[in-house]
Amino acid sequence: MARFKLTLEYDGTSYAGWQRQQGLPTVQGTLEEVFSDFLNEPTLVWGSGRTDAGVHARGQVAHVDIEKDYTPHEILGAVNQRLRYIPISLLAVHEVPSDFHARFSTTSRAYEYRILNRRVAPSLEANRVWWVIAPLSVERMALASRCLLGHHDFSAFRDSRCQASSPFKTLDEFTIEQEDDLILFKIRARSFLHHQVRNMVGTLKRVGDGSWVPERVKEILASCDRRQAGPTAPACGLYLTEISYEAPSIV
């Protein structure tokens, strides 16, 4: 039995999230169907973590155990051939030690949130960005975001359905950049609360459009009250971009 690390990208628009759900299309469920067809036996695919309905990925990681003798190159080709009409791509396959786990071996996760800030609706980027017409100040949002870096109780940005045992998380990176009409929020931490990234972006958007002063974000964080923060940003603008592990993780 060999264990293989899978690096994936997918368009989450038509999926009810990563995690398999009875009667609903999911990324994990689709991959398990594809691997089961390829290997001609029921096969489980273990992901690094869940993404919600409509969320995309450019660097999701999963692992799969395969008893038959296949090389990473053979797995990559066979799986992508079966995915050719499906918005999921297997980017890389590596054999890893048996104690590697896509979820529990993770050292950090990185997300990117994309806002298209212009008056004209997106066509090429439809379902892949949050379209915001009102002009946004990147400077005001960046100033407000500084208080979110580090170790805090993020209850104010935590979804009521969050199952995490603690609201305390440590943000290692939070940057906001602008590329023409695109505003990119880049955030990294070991782990996140449910909807934490989208709730932070929804809050900062209100600072960017002038509804709130930057100092209010620090007050919201200290309140530990979800009702004080802004709305949850739409799922379509969120991308899981990178899952990091302690090297080496390849056999």
* CATH number of the domain where residue 55 is located: 3.30.70.580
Is-contact 62 31, C-beta < 8 A?
yes
pLDDT on residue 94: 96
Q: Tell me whether residue 137 is in a domain.
A: yes
List pLDDT tens digits, range 52-104: 999 999 999 999 999 999 999 999 999 999 999 999 999 999 999 999 999 99
Same domain, 98 and 156: no
Q: Mean pLDDT over all residues of the chain? A: 96
Q: How confident is the model at residue 247 (pLDDT cuts 50, 70, 90)?
A: confident
List of residues 6+ apart from 228 with CB closer than 8 A: 156, 219, 220
pLDDT on residue 10: 98
Boundary-marking domain end, from 56, 86, 104: 104
Q: How confident is the model at residue 246 (pLDDT cuts 50, 70, 90)?
A: confident
Same domain, 93 and 123: no
Q: What is the pTM of this model?
A: 0.95
- Residues of the domain holding 36: 2-104
Provide the β-strand partners of residue 92: 7
| Mean pLDDT in residue range 157-186 | 96
Q: Is residue 52 among the annotated active site residues? A: yes
Same domain, 112 and 80: no
Quote the CA–CA distance of 249 and 242 in Å, as a whole number. Answer: 15
Boundary-marking domain end, from 48, 71, 104: 104
Backbone angles phi, psi at 96, to 5 degrees: -130, 165
Q: Tell me whether residue 213 is in a domain.
A: yes
| Mean pLDDT in residue range 131-153 | 98
Same domain, 64 and 49: yes
Same domain, 47 and 127: no
Catalytic residue, from 11, 37, 52, 209: name it.
52
Is-contact 230 203, C-beta < 8 A?
yes
Helix, strand, coil percent content, the chain, rounded in steps of 5: 25, 30, 40
Q: Is the pLDDT of residue 249 over 70?
A: no
List of residues 6+ apart from 94 with CB closer than 8 A: 4, 5, 72, 249, 250, 251
